[in-house]
Chains A and B, each alone.
Chain A
Amino acid sequence: MPTAPRFLPAGESALVVEFGAAIDPALNDEVHAFDRALAQAAIPGIIEAVPTYRSLMIHFDPRQLATDDLIAQLRRLTIAPETLAPAKHWLIPACYEPPHDEDLAEVAAALNLAPERIVALHTAATYRIYMFGFAPGYVFLGGLPAELAISRRPKPRPPVPQGALLIAGGQALIANRPMPTGWYNLGATPALLFDPQRTPPVSVDLGDRISFEPVDGATFASLRQAAAAGEPVIRQKA
Chain B
Amino acid sequence: MAHLRVLRAGPGATIQDGGRFGYRRYGLTPAGPMDWVAFRTANLALGNAADAAVIEVGPGGIELIVEAEAPVSLAFCGGGFTWLRGGQLVGAAARLSLAPGEILSAQPGVAGIFTYLAVAGGLRTPVELGSRATYTRAAIGGLNGGLLRAGDLLPFEAPAAAAADDAMIVAPWLRPDLDAPLRVVLGPQDDYFDPAARDLLFSAPFRVAAGDRMAYRLDGPPIAHSRGYNIVSDGVALGAIQIAGDKKPLILMADHPPTGGYPKLGHVARADIGRLAQLRPGRACYFVEVSAETAREALQGLENEVATTTNFCRALRRQVALDGVAAPDRTTWSAAGNRHPR
Question: Is the pairing of A and B real?
Answer: yes
Give residues in A with beta carbon < 8 Å to B: 8-14, 16, 18, 21-23, 47-57, 59, 62-63, 66-68, 131-138, 140, 151-156, 168-169, 171, 176-179, 182, 194, 196, 200-202
Nearest-CB residue, chain A, relative to B304: A63
Residues of A within 8 A of B230 (CB): 151-152, 168-169
Residues of B near A178 (CB, < 8 A) are 137
Contact across chains for A49 and B25 when beta carbons are under 8 A apart: yes
Q: Does B327 contact A (CB under 8 A)?
A: no
Say yes or no: A13 contacts B270, CB within 8 Å.
yes
Residues of A within 8 A of B232 (CB): 21-23, 52-54, 169, 171
Contact present for B235 and A56 (CB under 8 Å): yes
Q: How far is the CA of A56 from the CA of B233 in the complex (A)?
A: 11
24 A-B contact pairs sorted by A residue (CB < 8 Å) = A8-B187, A11-B185, A11-B268, A11-B292, A12-B269, A12-B296, A12-B299, A13-B238, A47-B21, A53-B232, A56-B235, A62-B300, A133-B24, A135-B137, A136-B140, A152-B261, A154-B244, A155-B244, A168-B261, A169-B230, A171-B233, A177-B138, A196-B128, A201-B23
* A140–B257 alpha-carbon span in the complex (Å): 14
Closest 10 CB pairs of A and B: A57-B235, A133-B259, A154-B245, A11-B267, A8-B188, A14-B237, A12-B295, A12-B296, A169-B230, A134-B257
Assembly CA distance A134 to B245 (angstroms): 18
- Closest-CB distance, A92 to chain B (whole angstroms): 17
Q: Which residue of A lies closest to B184 (CB)?
A: A11
Residues on A with C-beta less than 8 A from B264 are 10
| A8 cross-chain contacts in B, Cβ below 8 A | 187-188
- Chain B: minimal CB distance from A133 (Å): 3
Complex CA–CA separation, A50 to B299 (angstroms) = 23
Q: Contacts of B244 on A, CB cut-off 8 Å?
A: 152, 154-156, 182
Determine if B188 and A48 form an interchain contact, defined as CB atoms under 8 angstroms apart.
Answer: no
Nearest chain A CB to B272's CB is how many angstroms away? 11
Is B76 positioned at the interface, with any CB of A under 8 Å from its CB?
A: no
- Residue on B with the closest CB to A54? B232
**A14 CA to B25 CA, complexed, in Å:** 14
Residues of B within 8 A of A155 (CB): 244-246
For the complex, give the distance between the alpha carbons of A201 and B128 in Å.
Answer: 12
The residues of B with any CB-CB pair to A shorter than 8 Å are: 21-29, 128-129, 137-138, 140, 185, 187-188, 229-240, 244-246, 257-262, 264, 266-270, 292-293, 295-296, 299-300, 303
Flag if B270 contacts A62 (CB, 8 Å): yes
- Which of chain A's residues have a CB closer than 8 A to the CB of B138? 135-136, 177
User: Would A50 and B292 count as touching, CB distance under 8 A?
Assistant: no
- Inter-chain contact B185/A12, CB cutoff 8 Å: yes
CB of A133 within 8 A of CB of B233, answer yes
Task: List the B residue with the shortest CB-CB distance to A62.
Answer: B296
Alpha-carbon separation in the docked complex, A68 to B294 (Å) = 12
B293 CB, min distance to chain A CBs, angstroms:
6
Taking CB as reference atom, which chain A residue is nearest B295?
A12
Bound CA span A51–B260, Å: 12
Residues of B within 8 A of A136 (CB): 26-28, 138, 140
Would you give the shortest CB distance from B236 to chain A, in whole angstroms?
A: 8
* B267 near A50: Cβ-Cβ < 8 Å: no
Query: Is A67's CB under 8 angstroms from B293's CB?
Result: yes
- Closest B residue to A178 by beta carbon equals B137
CB pair A177–B137 under 8 Å, yes or no, is: yes
* A10-B267, A56-B235 as given contacts; A134 in contact with B260, CB under 8 Å: yes
Q: Are A55's CB and B129's CB within 8 A?
A: no
Most chain B C-beta atoms within 10 Å of own C-beta, residue among A18, A21, A138: A138
The answer, among A11, A52, A194, for a CB contact under 8 Å with B270, is A11
Give Cα A56 to B235, complex, Å. Answer: 7
Q: Are A53's CB and B26's CB within 8 A? A: no
Cβ-defined contact, A59 with B26, below 8 A: no
| B296 touching A66, Cβ below 8 Å | yes
Contact B137 A53, beta carbon cutoff 8 Å: no
Question: Which residue of B is nearest A150, CB measured?
Answer: B230
Q: A151 to nearest B CB, angstroms? A: 6
